[in-house]
Chain A
Amino acid sequence: QVQLVQSGAEVKKPGASVKVSCKASGYTLTSYGISWVRQAPGQGLEWMGWISTFNANTHYAQNLQGRVSMTTDTSTSTAFMELRSLRSDDTAVYYCARIAKWGEEFFDLWGRGTLVTVSS
């Protein structure tokens, strides 16, 4: 079955880091790019950036530059998103999504989301 399976919910303190995983199954990870999208409570969807799973090139949203890193481990078909220096407004559900067509960043497969709660 083609799917993206994300890691479980996390609770972090302000200033800490979180690393969310996204394992691809049913297809070859390196055949498609991965984007990360988040949704804070009561807010809309916010694109965070993408990673080329083929050559590890990345492109991050400007407001997250310096705090976010996207990586992949092709041996386990897993993509990762790490967010550092967490703040309370980073509390959100984080989704990984498969880029359907390189050069056209719409998403044909999504994970179910990982809730990250930042609280002291």
Chain B
Amino acid sequence: EIVLTQSPGTLSLSPGERATLSCRASQSVSSSYLAWYQRKPGQAPRLLIYGASSRATGIPDRFSGSGSATDFTLTISRLEPEDFAVYYCQQYGSSPITFGQGTRLEIK
């Protein structure tokens, strides 16, 4: 099973700043099958990025994904107030599908 480790656990930033979230895999993720999700309290998770770097439909271009093999990054170029949430990475390159523990992005 591929273990995904997200860092930091909590990130405190101000609107307008740049956010960099990390997701490290215990083994190489096949075909860069790595997705990122955003979740806000009481809401369903929202797909942001798939295939490590492809933005999902309707996702603003301030969200970008990068990386390969074992190191992946989600970058939010300029934080908007609605971006403060919990972010999860997920690998789907091998079974079982696994998720990271999440990074909480909070307002500083």
B95 touches A59 (CB 8 A): yes
A113 to B40, CA, bound (A): 13
Chain B, Cβ-Cβ closest to A112: B44
Q: A104-B33, A106-B33, A106-B50 are in contact. Are A47 and B43 (CB under 8 A)?
A: no
Interface string of B68-108 (1 = CB under 8 A from A): 00000000000000000000101010011111111000000
> How many Cβ-Cβ contacts under 8 Å join chain A to chain B?
55
B43 touches A112 (CB 8 A): yes
Chief secondary structure at chain B's binding surface: loop
Interface residues of B in 12-66 (CB under 8 A from A): 33, 35, 37, 42-47, 50-51, 56-57
A110 touches B56 (CB 8 A): no
A110 touches B44 (CB 8 A): yes
Interface size grouping (class) on chain B: 20 to 34
B44 touches A95 (CB 8 A): yes
A44 touches B100 (CB 8 A): yes
Interface size grouping (class) on chain A: 20 to 34
B90 touches A106 (CB 8 A): yes
A44 touches B102 (CB 8 A): yes
Chain B, Cβ-Cβ closest to A107: B47
Q: Which residues of B contact A37 (CB under 8 A)?
A: 99
A45 to B101, CA, bound (A): 7
Q: Which residues of B contact A104 (CB under 8 A)?
A: 33, 50-51, 92
A111 to B50, CA, bound (A): 19
B residues near A, CB below 8 A? 33, 35, 37, 42-47, 50-51, 56-57, 88, 90, 92, 95-102
